[in-house]
Structure formats: C-alpha cells, structure tokens
Structure 1
Amino acid sequence: MHKKKLVVFLPAHNEEGNIAKVISRIPREPHPDWQVEVLVIDDGSTDGTVEEAKAAGAEHIVSFARNRGLGAAVREGLASCVRLGADIGLMIDADNEYPAEEIPNVVAPIWEGRSDYTMGSRFKGSIRGMRLHRRLGNYCFTLLQALLLRRMIWDGQSGMRGFSRLAMEHAEIIHDYNYAQVLTLNLVRKGFRMEEVPITYQVRQQGESFIKFNKYMTNVLPAVWKEMRRPVSRKRVAELKKARAVALRKVSMEK
C-alpha cells in the first residue's frame, strides 16, 4: 500500500535554543500508513538554528538570505510541501510552545476526509503561562475573523495548523509579515472546510517572540482589509469543491 506523506514544516528565525526540542517531539511513526518528514524554513537566522535543525534530524532545509517575515516563511513552507509531494502538511511554530506530539490529532480530520484545513486550538484545549494582554489580543483578532467569516472560531492565531494537499495548492498569503488571519480568511472564503482541534499549550521558556503590538497592528489590520476586498469567484470555489471531491474519492480507494 502506498504510504501517505505528511510533511511537518517549521518556520524559524533565530530559534537555536528551541528548534531541536520541537523536532525531537514530532512523532515519526504515528500511523503505519504515514511517512513523516520534517522541513525547516529558515527565515534568515543569524544563530545556529539551521545546524541544530539538521542535527535533530530535519530532512529538508530551505534558507532565506535575509529575514523576510513569518508570512513569507509559511508561504514557502506550503509551496515546499507541495514540491515534496506531501499529501498533508502540518505547520508548527519552532518556539516549542505547541505540542508536536499532538500532530496526529491535528491532522486526523484531514486524514479522515472531514476537513481540508485544521487549527490546533489553544482555547478549546488548555493554556499555561499566557499573559492577560496576549489573551485579550488573541480574543480580539479571533473575534474579528469570526465576524468577517460569520462562523464560530475559537483560536484564530494558532501556530499549529494542518492542510490537505488541495488547500496547500490554493492557499494565498498576501503579506510577508504574518499569516495567521489572512490564511484562514483566504481558505474559508474559497470554500475549504475548517476544523479546530483542542491542544495543550505552554508559553515559550526560551527565546523571544517577534510580535510587537504596534507593528503587529499596523501590518495585520491592513492585510485583513486587503484580503476581504479581494473577490472570490463562485466559479473558482465550485471548481475547488469538485477537485476536493475527486481527491476524497482517490483517498477512499487507496485505504
């Protein structure tokens, strides 16, 4: 039987103290029908991130010559997963805050054909160590997405997300700074099915987050506005749904 390829990709910038820990927590044989590979998108790191990733067992490294931003790194991660022949892609932050051992749970809805796009939800699961101002920021941006999409969303800023191949092929991230909001808006508006999976979350113990409130607001809000103004072709959505149905039939035949 042909094994399904799951590529776990980590966008990383100066995470030499954390990235090996994340890679070591990734289940390599979560299912007998899965082949798991690790991909690191090095966003212009100036420390030993790449060396630590290689030593920890990452099969693939893509390095940017300079720091381009998290949005650019995730965009490259999705494109690289497609080039590597991934059936499913799983993005996880390289800061060791998200539970890599729970990857099988996060991709299960995609594997089972129930979803095209999954998010590991901290607020449906458990959170340790998150400060009040970060909680409030997460709540506000999540509420904004929920209102724009007219559906319930628990955790719109999750750094742990799963993608079907079709979702990876058609996902668009319109700015380099970040991806969290615009990616969900883009995929859901195109008709891709989204599901949130409860996860456990621990705020980073080492290193520093790139997020600074003023810069985040001035970059993210205009990008959300731009994404929502982009037209979504009903014909294109219908084509995507048809392609998804074909892909699901293929999956069911191979099981």
Structure 2
Amino acid sequence: MKLIIQIPCYNESETLEIALNDLPKKIDGIDEIEILIINDGSQDNTVEVAKNWGVNYVVNFKRNKGLAKGFMAGLDACLRNGADIIVNTDADNQYVGADIEKLVRPILDGKTDIVIGERPIMTTEHFSPLKKKLQRLGSWVVQKASKSDIPDAPSGFRAYSREAAMQMNVANEYTYTLETIVQAGRNKIAQTSVPIRTNGELRPSRLFSSMFGYVKKSMLTILRAFMMYKPLRFFSVLGGVIFLVGALIGIRFLFFFAQGTGNGHIQSLILSSTLMMIGFQTFVIGLQGDMIAANRKLLEEIQYRVRKMDYDHDLGEIKKENDK
C-alpha cells in the first residue's frame, strides 16, 4: 500500500520545511510514504527547499495557475506514480502531520473513499468570529448541495483512495475543496470526516484577499457545482418562482378586470405574461441542462475508464522497473 502526500506550494520557502518535517515517516498498513509538491509558479526558492529536504516528486508550473489546477495536477502525478492513497495538505503547516494517520485509516479499513479533516473551527484562535460563522454557513450550504454531512467543507486536509481520485474533476479555477465534495455527493462516492488538530498560523491565508471576496467566490463555486450536477432542480425552482410571481400578477389583473377596471391595469397583464414566459423558458433551460448533465455523466464514465487504463499502464511500467 503506497501513500503519496501532495503539497501545493506558492512561494512557501519559509514554511515548507516546517511542514515537511511534521509529516509522518511510518503508518501502520502503509508500506511506502512518498512526498510530492506542486510548485504553482513560485518566485522564491520553494523548489530548492523541497529538493534539499528530499521530496520524491516535484510538479512544476511556470506561472501561477491557482489552487484548483495545482490540486488536479497533483492527483494526476500521484496516480501515475502508483499511489493507492493520496493525502492533500498545506505547505504552511496549518495541519498536524501526525493526523494523516486519522485520515487514511477509514480508507485502509475499507469504510470510505474520501476522508476530510474537520478542524476545531470554533476554538481556533486565529479565526475571527465572522470567519467562523461564514465557515459554518458555507459548510451547511455544501451539505445541502451535496447531500452529505461533511462539517468542514473548506478544509484542504483530506485523503482520497485511488478509485476516488480517478473520478475527480474540478471545473472552477478558485479552489477544489467545495466542488469536489458536491461532485462526490452527487456521484455517490463514499466520503466522511474525522476530527483533526491545527497548528498556529505561520502566515496569513493567500486564498482570498478579503472576507467578502472569499464569500463571493465560495458561493459562486457552490452555485456552479449545483447547476452542473442538478440543473433541472435548480432551473425548475428558479423558473417556478418567476412563473408564480407572474401568475399572481395575472390573478390580480383578472380581479380588477372582473370589477370592470381592467383597462387601468394593462401594464400588469403585460408584466404577468412576460414573467410567465420567462419562467417557462427557464424551466426549458433546466430540461436542456439535465440532458447535458446526463451526457456529462457518460463522459465522466469514459474519462474514468481511460484514466484507469492509463494509470494502470504506468503502474505496470513502474513495477517492471522495480523488478529489474
């Protein structure tokens, strides 16, 4: 059983070695533990620090592509190098390395395919009261969108089985954390969470420049994921609300018309007709989106099978090299 720990990095030369030193060297049930970093266009000596420490693999981007792209590139590299389990953690040592055993244990026991670390958000000192409330609100929204019970959706400390990793797709360029939970929930991939610890803050978060920006991007990511995986429900609700408003305005017009004063409310009739047409058209868009979603599922299944053949071939080549 091979575990590869992947660490996305962007100008992390000051904290990377601390995070690497904190990683476990041995875990019961794991035969090999290897380290991979994703250098997301760093302009400092992050790569030199990683190589001097002795990481096994380095994925290099010539320019910054963002956390989501880095995450997917890391999964690809881990799978190609024969990972049975992939753990994602941060380069700022936010998470306690020893808790990686907690993440991989449910996968080793065959209970689940994805494990997400649940941070003690309410007792984390460097989280502001507003951030704590927004984290809980965001996690609640993701739970509803994904039909899961993951209590800490933004947590980047997580483990994937090989099968789960091959099924992951991230469409947005902001972050992978929210979309992958929604995707796993909608595709019925087994996922759970375990309580983990956090270390003190070594540097401010670089994922967002302001709380408003974080909320806006997170909500757009959740909304987009929900539209991708449940378009008929989303557009049916939206179209239904618009159609209902139009119908109520139409009923109001009919009331005045029955009293003989309809001539003064022609605008209401026009608005009612317009809203009802928009509502119906929105529902039709939902039907089209549902057909596209069904087609996407077929494409994802094809992609999974192609990935499996590709990665299994690479794994076979690695085994041949090791046997020489």
TM-score normalised by the chain length of structure 2: 0.67
- Return 5+ residue gaps in structure 1 as ranges: 244-255
- The separation in 2 between residues aligned to 1:142 and 1:62, in whole angstroms, is 30
Contact 1:95 1:207 in 2 (8 A): no
- The separation in 2 between residues aligned to 1:35 and 1:48, in whole angstroms, is 27
Contact 1:128 1:201 in 2 (8 A): no
Match of 1:62 in 2: 59
Superposition pairs for residues 171-210 of structure 1, below 5 Å? 171-206=168-203, 208-210=205-207
Contact 1:127 1:200 in 2 (8 A): no
Cα deviation per residue 1:102-154 (whole Å; 9 max; x = unaligned)? 11111110111101000011138963432222212211210110121234221
Q: Does 1:103 align with 2:100?
A: yes
Match of 2:320 in 1: none
Change in CA separation of 1:81 and 1:45 when aligned onto 2, cut-off 3 Å: same
1:53 pairs, out of 46, 50, 55, with 50
More helix by share: 2
- Of structures 1 and 2, the one scoring higher in RCO (CA 8 A, sep 6+) is 1
1:82 pairs, out of 66, 79, 82, with 79
Match of 1:31 in 2: 28
Superposition pairs for residues 130-141 of structure 1, below 5 Å? 130-141=127-138
Match of 1:249 in 2: none
Percent same amino acid among aligned pairs?
27
Of residues 116-125 and 227-236 in structure 1, the stretch that sits farther from structure 2 once superposed is: 227-236
Contact 1:43 1:69 in 2 (8 A): yes
- The separation in 2 between residues aligned to 1:142 and 1:17, in whole angstroms, is 31
Displacement, 1:221? Answer: 2.5
Match of 2:149 in 1: 152
- The separation in 1 between residues aligned to 2:99 and 2:195, in whole angstroms, is 10
Change in CA separation of 1:207 and 1:132 when aligned onto 2, cut-off 3 Å: closer
Match of 1:221 in 2: 219
Cα deviation per residue 1:151-186 (whole Å; 9 max; x = unaligned)? 422101112000000111010111122111101111
How many aligned residue pairs are there? 236
- The separation in 2 between residues aligned to 1:37 and 1:126, in whole angstroms, is 32
Task: Give, as a single letter, the amino acid of the residue that structure 2 aligns with 1:230.
Answer: M
Contact 1:26 1:101 in 2 (8 A): yes
- The separation in 1 between residues aligned to 2:153 and 2:117, in whole angstroms, is 10
Task: Give, as a single letter, the amino acid of the residue that structure 1 aligns with 2:169.
Answer: E
Contact 1:174 1:223 in 2 (8 A): no
Contact 2:40 2:61 in 1 (8 A): yes
Change in CA separation of 1:134 and 1:218 when aligned onto 2, cut-off 3 Å: closer
Contact 1:15 1:207 in 2 (8 A): no
Contact 1:130 1:203 in 2 (8 A): no
Who wins on radius of gyration, i.e. which is larger? 2
- The separation in 1 between residues aligned to 2:133 and 2:168, in whole angstroms, is 28
* SS in structure 2 at match of 1:230: helix
- The separation in 2 between residues aligned to 1:16 and 1:137, in whole angstroms, is 30
Match of 1:170 in 2: 167
* SS in structure 2 at match of 1:200: coil
Change in CA separation of 1:221 and 1:207 when aligned onto 2, cut-off 3 Å: closer
Task: Give, as a single letter, the amino acid of the residue that structure 2 aligns with 1:69.
Answer: G
- The separation in 2 between residues aligned to 1:128 and 1:57, in whole angstroms, is 33
- The separation in 2 between residues aligned to 1:57 and 1:67, in whole angstroms, is 23
Contact 1:10 1:41 in 2 (8 A): yes
Task: Give, as a single letter, the amino acid of the residue that structure 2 aligns with 1:94.
Answer: A
Give me the CA root mean square deviation: 2.3
Change in CA separation of 1:33 and 1:148 when aligned onto 2, cut-off 3 Å: closer
Contact 1:90 1:163 in 2 (8 A): yes
- The separation in 2 between residues aligned to 1:11 and 1:157, in whole angstroms, is 15
Task: Give, as a single letter, the amino acid of the residue that structure 1 aligns with 2:78.
Answer: C
Displacement, 1:39? Answer: 0.2
Task: Give, as a single letter, the amino acid of the residue that structure 2 aligns with 1:43.
Answer: D
- The separation in 2 between residues aligned to 1:92 and 1:76, in whole angstroms, is 14
Displacement, 1:202? Answer: 2.6
- The separation in 2 between residues aligned to 1:133 and 1:14, in whole angstroms, is 28
Match of 1:123 in 2: 120
